[in-house]
Amino acid sequence: MKKATSERKVLNIRQIKHRLVQGYLAFLEGNLDAALSIYESLYNRFPNSQLVVNNLVLTLIKKGDMEKAKNILEEFLNKKRKVSRVSKTRLLSNLIILKYLIHLMLGNVEEAINYFNEKLSEEFYICSPDWEELPNLEFDLETFFRINDDELSKFQWSVTYSKHSEYILPLSENLRLLIYKIVKKRLAENGNDKNVTRHLKKILAIVALSLGKIKEAKLMAEALTEEDRDFYSLVVRGKIRYVINDLNGAYQDFLEALKMAENTNQRHIPLANLSVIFMRTGDYEKALELINEALRSKVDCYLCWYIRAMIYLRSEKWIEAEKAFKAILEWRKDDGRIWYGLGITYLARNKLLESIECFLKAMKLDPTRESSKLYLDLARAILEGRGDK
């Protein structure tokens, strides 16, 4: 009986995957009616699937049915909020950004801005500590472990030079392109409202940066700060300078923004960014001091907790790093970055089986991070070399 149930479950999963692929291909080919039909039938069966909801809402947006897209998305988000104490952190970022975009397209600009400030400011305004992946650790590995020279060279190259646009803005490239087009359109339509246009330009600058449109991003940020050196304009310009390796300029922008944010609920943003700068330069003590101050300002800043764990990892304080990553997993288990960081920590502590388990989970949750596979191969090679089967 159990075997038959298990076989039916596997068959259902295969059928669902097949239908999702059919819908995706129809969407890419511009056959939106076929895609909508497939995704609506899947949604009727699986209304709690984030992937199905995401694909259905995207199709409805493409067809111009904003009200229906809004209703489906809000029903899903409200349902998630009721069943989880930490639902805000568990929701996929792309579903949250889709709700923001729908507000924009429906003309609910003020509501969109308020929603953005509440839900999306971390992703847009805080620099990712992953932009420089492990600048020191790879040089210690040869003394840590015995490994083939060719494999080590490949590993070092990937870890040293791998930079992904998702580190600037943790959304898929297709979704970032959609944001870029919609925000540009809204910018043209709201040219007379200064507050709206400034908000949209800040969003557009970060999205343009993540799409490799660096000149456009820099010009927009410079224009914003010349027009009005407000808090978020400085943060946006600082993030752009951080990405293009102008760390002195980024430091000055974040420091000025911090002075503006005294006695406000925004202090954690420049503090986190300053912490990332000091971590990148190797001053881990100062980086830790700043991120702890950011957390005192906003204890539920998820990205701040992640930066703190990464500081311990980069400074090779393995026991503290292990505790920090495990603490985040108590909060959220669906972030591949956390499993990846914990995997490296286990690897450095010679806990090879535990590291392999973490890298496998990281690959499942974040298949775009190539170094997860390289670390996994490294851990397996070390294990096999010792004969610990």
Predicted confidence (pLDDT) per residue in 322-381, tens digit:
999 999 998 888 888 999 999 999 998 989 999 999 999 999 988 877 788 888 988 898
Q: What is the pLDDT of residue 308?
A: 97
**What pTM, to 2 d.p., does this model score?**
0.81
CB 329 within 8 A of CB 342: yes
Q: What is the pLDDT of residue 27?
A: 84
Name the one residue in this structure whose structure tokens are 């600037």.
168
Domains of the chain: 2-119 (1.25.40.10)
Q: What is the pLDDT of residue 187?
A: 85
169 φ, ψ (degrees, to nearest 5): -145, 110
Residues in the chain: 389
Counting Cα atoms < 13 Å in the Cβ hemisphere of 322 gives 12
Name the one residue in this structure whose structure tokens are 């111009």.
64
Predicted confidence (pLDDT) per residue in 295-321, tens digit:
999 999 999 999 999 999 999 999 999
Tokens of 105: 């397209």
Question: How many angstroms separate the CA atoms of 384 and 36, rounded?
Answer: 49
Question: How many angstroms separate the CA atoms of 266 and 285, rounded?
Answer: 23
Tokens of 207: 């999205």
Q: What is the pLDDT of residue 50?
A: 82
Is 48 strand, coil or helix? coil
> 65 or 82: which carries more pLDDT confidence?
65
